């Protein structure tokens, strides 16, 4: 059994949807903000159709929650980003198919249980691969070209997404602040990043 395939081998490869408040009460990823969302808000977001949360849990008599993530519909609006970013995004899209907006899925939250962090397991990377496989699957109900995430502006978080193929929607923090009407002297709390799903299609 390969730990690098933990979600497939020990969790059955299929996540559970959160359907009731408190369902993730035993889960902790070590980040207070994320834990609070998963404990108290995940089911409320689902009820309001604002985002749907899923979790992977180990199989057996004593299941453990391995990770949790929240998804929502989103888009990349080409007209609202700098030319350099727009050119990178549209480079692999035929001219005849280019448009003002491209469908995307937003990773609103993603947390890995403290017990499964590190240890060369790379659970977070496995989650990214799973989400990508979900949205390029022939049975997916809608078109979805990109995964986007508004990642915490912390070096370890940004490095994680970069390692998994994500690129910055705005090449610099200054451009991102300008686009979001944030004063240049203020700290940017998050960076918008994207992953092109065409790279996962055989």
One pLDDT digit (tens) per residue for the chain, 202 residues: 447 789 999 999 999 999 999 999 999 999 999 999 999 999 999 999 999 999 999 998 899 999 999 999 999 999 888 888 899 899 989 999 999 999 999 999 999 999 999 867 899 999 999 999 999 999 999 999 999 999 999 999 999 999 999 999 999 999 999 999 999 999 999 999 999 999 898 7
Q: What pLDDT is recorded for position 82?
A: 86
- The residue segments making up the domain with residue 147 are 3-200
d(CA 189, CA 120): 28
Between helices 155-163 and 123-136, what is the axis angle to 10°? 50
C-beta atoms surrounding 161 within 10 Å: 23
Secondary-structure breakdown of the chain: helix, strand, coil percentages, each rounded to the nearest 5: 35, 25, 40
Nearest to 175, CA basis, from 84, 87, 101, 106 = 84
Question: Which token pair is 134?
Answer: 């979900």
Q: What pLDDT is recorded for position 106?
A: 98
d(CA 193, CA 54): 21
Strand order in the sheet with 101-112: 16-17, 52-57, 65-77, 101-112, 146-152, 190-196, 167-168
The dihedrals phi and psi of 117, each to the nearest 5 degrees, come to -85, 145
74: exposed, middle or buried (Cβ count in 10 Å: 0-12, 13-18, 19+): buried
Nearest to 160, CA basis, from 85, 110, 113 = 110
d(CA 68, CA 110): 6
User: How many independent structural domains does the chain possess?
Assistant: 1
pTM: 0.92
Nearest to 84, CA basis, from 168, 197, 177 = 168
Q: What pLDDT is recorded for position 120?
A: 75
- CATH, residue 56: 3.40.630.30
- Sequence-distant (≥ 6) Cβ neighbours of residue 93 within 8 angstroms: 102, 145
């Amino acid at each position: 059994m390969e730990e690098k395939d933990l979600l497939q081998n020990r969790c059955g490869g299929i996540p559970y949807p959160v359907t009731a408040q408190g369902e993730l009460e035993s889960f902790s990823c070590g980040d207070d903000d994320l834990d609070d969302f998963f404990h108290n808000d995940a089911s409320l977001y689902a009820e309001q159709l604002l985002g749907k949360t899923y979790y992977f849990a180990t199989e057996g008599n004593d299941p453990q929650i391995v990770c949790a993530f929240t998804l929502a519909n989103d888009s990349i609006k080409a007209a609202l980003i700098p030319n350099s970013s727009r050119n990178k995004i549209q480079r692999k899209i035929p001219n005849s198919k280019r448009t003002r907006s491209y469908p995307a899925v937003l990773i609103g939250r993603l947390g890995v249980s403290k017990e499964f962090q590190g240890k060369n397991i790379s659970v977070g990377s496995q989650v990214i691969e799973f989400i990508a496989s979900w949205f390029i699957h022939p049975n997916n109900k809608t078109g979805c070209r990109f995964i986007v995430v508004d990642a915490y502006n912390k070096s370890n978080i940004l490095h994680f997404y970069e390692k998994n193929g994500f690129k910055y929607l705005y090449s610099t923090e200054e451009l991102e602040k300008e686009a979001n009407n944030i004063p240049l002297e203020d700290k940017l709390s998050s960076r918008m990043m994207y992953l092109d799903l065409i790279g996962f299609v055989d």
